[in-house]
């Protein structure tokens, strides 16, 4: 797969929130059309609905993990694997940026910016490609 990292950043620059920018960039790979994904993930921007909690870009990748891995209603056998993927995504993002919390990343309380929103989208997209969509050799 050709990298879509720049496409994700461009979507963010066009007004998609961080979660939408990441999730919509890869939605075709998990069987969801962009309009549906855009609506579904809208509330996860600005740290989950503007609460400055979990970074929207991270939430976007985790949503993709569920869409890619889950077997759907009635089959809970995939939850453990999806949780493992989610933890891996969050851990890797935190190792790169020192946090997964929007207000910490933005320096709301510390006045120390750890990572821009475009940077968070870029990092999350790279993690999505590595953890979820890496081509099998």
47 part of a folded domain: yes
pTM (whole model) above 0.85: yes
Q: What is the number of domains present in the chain?
A: 1
Q: What are phi and psi of 54, to 5 degrees?
A: -60, 130
27 part of a folded domain: yes
How many Å apart are CA 24 and CA 75, to the nearest integer? 25
pLDDT along the chain (137 residues), means of 10: 95 98 98 98 92 96 97 95 97 98 95 97 98 75
76 part of a folded domain: yes
Range of the domain at 74: 5-132
pLDDT at residue 137, as a whole number: 36
pLDDT at residue 136, as a whole number: 43
């Amino acid at each position: 797969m050709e990298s879509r990292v720049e496409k994700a950043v461009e979507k963010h620059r066009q007004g998609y929130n961080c979660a939408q920018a990441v999730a919509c960039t890869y939605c075709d790979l998990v069987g969801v059309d962009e309009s549906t994904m855009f609506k579904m993930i809208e509330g996860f921007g600005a740290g989950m609905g503007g609460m400055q909690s979990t970074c929207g870009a991270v939430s976007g990748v985790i949503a993709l993990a569920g869409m890619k891995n889950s077997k759907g209603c009635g089959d809970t056998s995939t939850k453990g694997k999806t949780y493992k993927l989610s933890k891996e995504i969050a851990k890797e993002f935190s190792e790169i940026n020192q946090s997964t919390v929007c207000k910490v990343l933005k320096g709301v309380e510390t006045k120390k910016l750890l990572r821009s929103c475009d940077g968070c989208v870029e990092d999350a997209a790279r993690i999505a490609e590595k953890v979820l969509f890496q081509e099998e050799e």
